[in-house]
Chain A
Amino acid sequence: DQQVKQNSPSLSVQEGRISILNCDYTNSMFDYFLWYKKYPAEGPTFLISISSIKDKNEDGRFTVFLNKSAKHLSLHIVPSQPGDSAVYFCAASAPSGNDMRFGAGTRLTVKP
């Protein structure tokens, strides 16, 4: 099941710079997209979401962009902080289903 793909297993950025995490999906029925953040020994924590009627959603330092034609979404974190270091999961759901599909995650490391 590769409906949601995060092709970069890891990303390292300098504190203060922008972090860009990418996610691709294959199921054109997906209409609700989310980013979760996960620290070791904890469950995923909801970060930000976007519905398919929008192409951008912003919440503080976090912005999610959705490109429906490319079936691509990205999460921008600016400025990046060391506390942002975690694994970030992209997730998506379709109106017809009652489940949420996750990507494999990208480990972000923000260096001081």
Chain B
Amino acid sequence: EPEVTQTPSHQVTQMGQEVILRCVPISNHLYFYWYRQILGQKVEFLVSFYNNEISEKSEIFDDQFSVERPDGSNFTLKIRSTKLEDSAMYFCAVSPLQVGNSPLHFGNGTRLTVT
């Protein structure tokens, strides 16, 4: 059973629309991450989240992106105004410990298609 459940598995949206991708960890984890993989390319770090705030973000994670844990369980990634180049697989990952001390456990991803 995966440590993380992601919904939806596939999201199709029109350019300029807002999307929210959801992640629900099964057990208690302290660290949360979003990664993305554009088709055929590498898995890219977007953002890490700890203690209800962003701990680190990449250059990809611009003002169009935001993350939150609205109810203490769901961890969401919001893209305010989607662009064609946002089409990718988005993976949520969790870890009980800080990166460098334990592996990340990934969900099965949400395939986002922006048309």
**Whole-angstrom distance between the alpha carbons of A36 and B45 in the complex?**
15
* Min C-beta distance of A1 to chain B, whole Å: 8
- Across the interface, name the chain A residue whose C-beta is closest to B106: A43
Q: A97-B99, A102-B43 are in contact. Are A46 and B55 (CB under 8 A)?
A: no
Q: Is the CB of A95 within 8 A of B100?
A: yes
Q: A43-B91, A94-B100 are in contact. Are A99 and B107 (CB under 8 A)?
A: no
Chain A residues within an 8 Å CB radius of B100: 31-32, 93-95, 97
Q: Is the CB of B42 within 8 A of A99?
A: no
Chain A residues within an 8 Å CB radius of B31: 98
Q: Is the CB of B101 within 8 A of A32?
A: yes
- 18 A-B residue pairings within 8 Å (CB atoms): A31-B100, A32-B99, A41-B109, A42-B109, A43-B93, A43-B107, A46-B104, A49-B103, A93-B100, A98-B31, A99-B45, A99-B56, A99-B58, A99-B99, A100-B45, A103-B42, A104-B41, A105-B42
The 5 lowest CB-CB distance pairs between A and B, nearest first, are A43-B106, A104-B42, A46-B103, A102-B43, A98-B56
**Whole-angstrom distance between the alpha carbons of A1 and B61 in the complex?**
14
Of the candidates A46, A98, A101, A105, the one whose C-beta lies within 8 Å of that of B105 is: A46
Chain B residues within an 8 Å CB radius of A98: 31, 48, 50, 55-56, 98-99
Q: Does A34 contact B (CB under 8 A)?
A: yes
- Across the interface, name the chain B residue whose C-beta is closest to A6: B42
Q: A98-B55, A104-B41 are in contact. Are A93 and B106 (CB under 8 A)?
A: no
- Chain B residues with a Cβ under 8 A of chain A: 2, 4, 6, 31, 33, 35, 41-45, 48, 50, 55-56, 58, 91, 93, 98-101, 103-109
Within 8 A of B (CB), among A42-76: 42-46, 49
11 more contacts with CB within 8 A, not counting A45-B106, A105-B42, are A31-B100, A43-B4, A43-B93, A46-B103, A91-B43, A93-B99, A98-B98, A98-B99, A100-B99, A104-B41, A105-B43
Q: Is the CB of A34 within 8 A of B103?
A: yes
- Across the interface, name the chain A residue whose C-beta is closest to B41: A104
